[in-house]
Amino acid sequence: MVHYPKSENGPSIVLAAGIRTPWVRAGGAYKDEDAAHLGAQVVRELIARTQLDPSTIDEVVAGCVGNPFNQANVGRVIALRAGIPRSVSARTVARNCASGIEAVTSAITHIQAGLGDTYLCVGVEHMSAYPLTFGKKMTGFFERMMKARSPIAKLSTLMSFRPTWLAPTITLVEGLTDPTTGLIMGKTAELLARDFGITREDADQFACESHNRAQAARDRGRFKREILPMIPLGSKKRRVEHDDSIRDGQSIEKLSRMRPYFEKPDGVVTIGNACGITDGAAALLICTEARAKELGLTPLAKFRSWAWEGCDPERMGIGPVHSTATALDAAGCELKDMGVVELNEAFATQVLACQRAFDSDEYAKKKLGRDKALGHLDIAITNPNGGAIALGHPVGATGARLLLTTAHELQAGDHELGLATLCIGGGQGGSVVLERMS
Amino acid sequence: MTDFSGYPLPDNCPEAGECIRVERPEPGLAVVILDPPHRSLAVLDAPLIRDLDAVVEDLEQDTSLNGIVLTGRAPGQFAAGADIDAIAQLTDPKVIEKMVLAVHELFNRIEDLKPRTVAAISGPVPGGAFEISLACDLIVASDDDKTRIGLPETQLGILPGWGGSHRLPKRIGLPLSLDAILTGRLFKARVAWKRGMVDRIAKPEYLLEVAKDIAMGRKKLQRKHRGWKAWAMDKNPLMAKFIASQARKTIMKKTRGKYPAVLRALDMVIAAPSESRESGARKEAIAIAELASGPVCKALVSIFKGSEAAKKLGKGPDGWKPSRIEHGAVIGGGIMGGGIASAMADRGIWTRICDLSADALDAAVMDHRKDIDKRKRRRRIRQHQANEALDHLDMTLDSNTLGKSQVVIEAVAEVLPVKQKVLGGLAEIVSSDCIIATNTSSLSVTAIANDIPNPERVVGMHFFNPVKRMPLVEVIRGEKTSDEVVSATCALALRLGKTPVVVKDVAGFQVNRLLAPYLDEAMRLFVAGADPSRMDRLMLDFGMPMGPFTLIDEVGFDIALHTGTSLHEAYGTRFTPCPAMNDGLGENRLGKKTGKGFYVHPKGKKAKPSLATDLAKFQTETWANKLNNAELVDRMVLSMVGEAARCLEEGVTENAQMLDLATVFGTGFAPFHGGVLGYADSVGTTEVVKRLNIIAASPEMTDREGGVEKFTPAKILIDLAASGGKFRV
């Protein structure tokens, strides 16, 4: 358990500004992009908009799950490509799907420890570039070929080759599979559906609502304040201005036609009620309130508390309930005080499972060690602009978007408090309570 | 001792023996260091050659030597080649021939030295500097970014005359040596090594040690021999003939045979593999004597010196240097704005391009990327360099994000109130010392600067289209523009790889003010019956990169008319535009952009434009068709000369050299004439005045509005003619 309560005498830390690229389906418009280019572009824009002197940044912290194999420490590559002076250090952090928030909480911890007051946090993921790799047998074959000196040795090695070795390992699938339990993420969502009795109809209904909300939010220009339009590398068409996996006019009928993907034939998780594989990057400026004032910025929100908690890896989707309990305690408030909640939609069943667990006295007693349920999670205020099912889930970047969207929603909806939370592969939850600037 | 009398000495010529140091770091080794006290970078001028001669004589007599290293005084400094000033001064072919032969003799003696000779070269190693290295047994080059090796003589209208035309082909064979000598390209160390031009490369820190070790035989190094290739290619008459004919075709296509040095060099290189040292030297000496004393060489040298002078504009006269620009912005995402922004991003300036239209921005960024992709495909740049160029350009719709800019270049519509409004708004966003440059072609910089706070930072920066290819930038000094801002703007132009020329804030500035009367005259001759394709061909033969009608089509009728009208307003009757220009050639016929002008421009990359068939109906008279070729050319070219003289009189550019530089780089005016004024000089000012007067007195001119004024010679021209003087001294 790690958590941060807003201490009385510590500095007040704020989300001073933020921006993100449109979230784009993997293999789509960003297929020729690379993580550092996406990240650097939002960082440059953030610096230009805030007129921040980049040499005053204490550190750049990037969250990324699948660090590109050709951009080791992608945070540093982003910083350099964004024109941040070489003297400013940069690192990359990972906490699976929460890497984008991990970058921020790690920056907050540093500021609290007295290590500077200005951090540039990035969440970035380019899932299009997750490679296919050769298996052990094939790499072994390559090795033997290289070591074979004489023509005869070479020939005999060559003879040992078997075509089945060419079958690649899909790193994307491997990455989405929990190595300790052997369950792919979709199956953990199926498990939660069974645990909490969530039906296919419930899940499709939720997914449909996500798309409809996202469509409405996009159409009324709600995302304009957080999205930087991009001309993708290699694109011959116009700029991308919106998240491109929102399905206009999504209906329950259309969703109900899809077949279960992970557990056939009786499963409830389909491609339609799960989040998509997506590319994207977001940049956030995290600093003390005093520093923001010095820069002449009006911060988007203040950090009230945050928490990381562990749970059952086979039921990783329930993580938000665990971390939110801690974060709310630390913030000294309750679930009903939240004006808006951004709960990442890895799977519709997983969000609904969280809702039921929040509501359940039994779950509270058994798993959280409390007498009473945390309270009711009102779906009306949860993901009011749609969530990952509609927008997509570029794993390393999502956390940053949740914070950014929540902060903007505090202002747009005139709320006092907001909660950004998400489940994390491997059985964890992360929650951040944000407070509107007074 | 060789006799070097007659070779011009520089003004600050040092005493004998001061230009070269010989060090003896160990027994058996001599390190010969080119270290002339009177030059910042060693030049193979008379005093240095004189001292080298003495040193070689000593070395010849020293029997204790095993190895000799020839090198410069510091890393990155070897020598800059022959003395360009001396080439410009020498006029007597006999003297030139004698001097060249004397140097040949000296280089031959270096080649014949018994100990192993090793040249350790770094930095720029052009022409003569490389030729002296070729006379050594082995060449080691410094493996860094600053090393540039080659034989650029043909670009100055001469050819490698100190053995380069023979030693290089013998060393690396015909195809590669032709490429090096005919293009005059300078090669990076690694490329030069791969091509066999040098024998080894070493990091600059190790260069001298490696050279010493090789000279003393501690490190083995042998020159690669061409072996069978020499017989199959270089000395095979059939092969040589084939290579020669291919090369000749390319040269004729590119230069229309206007540059005798290139053709001469071609012949010499083709024959080189079988030539003896002595007859080769004689051939080179004779060729140099002819070429160096000829007009083309003098013209090209004058342009070279002009562009060298332009390179100094980026600093103050007292050596003050403007601060390096890290952040810049371009307002206006059109073709010009996009081109400028792309050039800035390429040179490592963090550039933001701003426009009100997202489509324009998209197009600008896309063009930038296309350009990078092309260079990457051609392996000019590597992936990380492509990324760098890519990352340096961002687009924005919001000018409030440009606050960090140290320079803002505006390229919006050519409407004074629009420019004033855009720049006025920007002035509030950027800091008070941010340079505000306007890429105007027809408006007054002073007027644009009028209401902007701190007008001393407002300057004109007139780029030409297409920005990536056109080498000139006119830097326009407004009435209030400060010297520092002018220098900083020139420095920026230089950083973008352009040649700056500082111009007064007069209508049309320098280049358009000269192009307008020329195009106007062509237009009038067309209306009076002359055939446009004939005039285009005549001007191509004259040495222009394209004929006047091709140029009008390229620029567009609307732009040409706009320029013509604004110049007419500024200068009065002599700029009266041809009345036919007002009507154009009809609806939607603006030139290349609409697909039809004087020529029909079919779509598609390979399709060639053809002359429009309906031009006769625009020709109201026939007399111009009766003019002979020379008369037609005179009317077009002398209209430019006449105006150039007036510009010089008004001091539009600093001097005649800069004016000519602007004409060569801005209009493409035949470089082998040395520019507009250089051309007037070569015709003779007296003759120019005579011809101008004849044209001015012709009935066509007396009948037409402004005709007489246009061709009446300026006072400066009449004065020069009276004294038989020249514009360029």
Taking alpha carbons only, the member of B9, B82, B70 closest to residue B41 is: B82
**pTM, entire model:** 0.91
Question: CA-CA distance, B219 to B153, in Å (whole number)?
Answer: 34
Question: CA-CA distance, B173 to B253, in Å (whole number)?
Answer: 24
Residues B401, A40: C-beta atoms closer than 8 Å: no
**pLDDT for position A7:** 57
Q: What is the mean pLDDT of chain B?
A: 91
Question: CA-CA distance, A225 to A49, in Å (whole number)?
Answer: 12
A50 touches chain B (CB under 8 A): no
Smallest Cα distance from B484 to chain A, Å? 26
**pLDDT for position B700:** 87
A181 three-state secondary structure: coil
Residue B605, pLDDT > 90, answer no
Question: CA-CA distance, A64 to A397, in Å (whole number)?
Answer: 7
Q: Which residues in B lie closer than 8 A to residue A83 (C-beta atoms)?
A: 350, 391-392
B359 touches chain A (CB under 8 A): yes
- Tell which A residues from 167 to 196 touch B, by Cβ distance under 8 Å: none
Split at pLDDT 50, 70, 90, the class of B596 is: confident
Residue pairs spanning A and B at CB distance below 8 A: 46
Helix-helix angle B260-271:B174-183, to 10 degrees: 160
The alpha carbon of residue A215 and the mean position of all alpha carbons in its chain are separated, in whole angstroms, by 20
**pLDDT for position B604:** 77
**Nearest-CB residue to B401 (from A49, A83, A235):** A49
**pLDDT for position A27:** 92
Residue B11, pLDDT > 80, answer no
- Tell which B residues from 390 to 429 touch A, by Cβ distance under 8 Å: 390-392, 394-396, 398, 401-404
A353-358 mean pLDDT: 97
Split at pLDDT 50, 70, 90, the class of B584 is: low
**Nearest-CB residue to B387 (from A81, A83, A239):** A81
Helix-helix angle B676-683:B629-650, to 10 degrees: 120
B146 touches chain A (CB under 8 A): no
Split at pLDDT 50, 70, 90, the class of A131 is: confident
**Nearest-CB residue to B394 (from A45, A51, A233):** A45
A229 touches chain B (CB under 8 A): yes
Split at pLDDT 50, 70, 90, the class of B4 is: low
Residue A234, pLDDT > 80, answer yes
- Tell which A residues from 239 to 278 touch B, by Cβ distance under 8 Å: 239
| pLDDT tens, position by position, B423-470 | 999 999 999 999 999 999 889 999 999 889 999 999 999 999 889 999
CATH of domain A185-221+303-432: 3.40.47.10
Among candidate residues A64, A208, A354, A423, the one labeled active-site is A423
Residue with tokens 């509270």: A364
**pLDDT for position B518:** 95
Residue A97 bears catalytic tag: yes
A274-292 mean pLDDT: 96
**Nearest-CB residue to A231 (from B365, B388, B396):** B365
**Geometric angle at alpha carbon B600, from B639 and B526, rounded to 5°:** 30
Residues A48, B396: C-beta atoms closer than 8 Å: yes
B50-57 mean pLDDT: 93
A227-238 mean pLDDT: 89
Domains, chain B: 20-293 (3.90.226.10), 319-504 (3.40.50.720), 511-723 (1.10.1040.50)
Closest residue, chain B, to A40 (C-alpha) = B391
Residue B3, pLDDT > 70, answer no
Among candidate residues A97, A208, A275, A333, the one labeled active-site is A97
CB A45 within 8 A of CB A81: no
| pLDDT tens, position by position, B695-723 | 999 988 888 888 899 999 999 999 999 99
Residue B1, pLDDT > 60, answer no
**pLDDT for position B231:** 77
Q: Which residues in B lie closer than 8 A to residue A40 (C-beta atoms)?
A: 391
| pLDDT tens, position by position, B399-409 | 999 999 999 99
Split at pLDDT 50, 70, 90, the class of A120 is: very high
**Nearest-CB residue to A83 (from B350, B358, B403):** B350
CB B147 within 8 A of CB B141: yes
B435 three-state secondary structure: strand
**pLDDT for position B483:** 94
CB B490 within 8 A of CB B317: no
Q: Which residues in A lie closer than 8 A to residue B365 (C-beta atoms)?
A: 231
Mutant choice from A19, A43, A44 vs B, greatest count of B C-beta within 10 A: A44
CB A232 within 8 A of CB A203: no
Residues B369, A233: C-beta atoms closer than 8 Å: yes
Residues of chain A with CATH 3.40.47.10: 185-221+303-432
Q: Which residues in B lie closer than 8 A to residue A49 (C-beta atoms)?
A: 398, 401
A296-303 mean pLDDT: 95
CB atoms within 10 A of CB A253: 9
Q: Which residues in B lie closer than 8 A to residue A37 (C-beta atoms)?
A: 387, 390-391
Q: Which long-range contacts (CB under 8 A, 24 or more apart) does B512-515 make?
A: B512/B441, B512/B442, B512/B563, B512/B567, B513/B567, B513/B643, B513/B647, B513/B652, B514/B640, B514/B643, B514/B644, B514/B647, B514/B663, B514/B667, B514/B676, B515/B551, B515/B640, B515/B667
Residue A82, pLDDT > 90, answer yes
Q: Which residues in B lie closer than 8 A to residue A238 (C-beta atoms)?
A: 359, 362
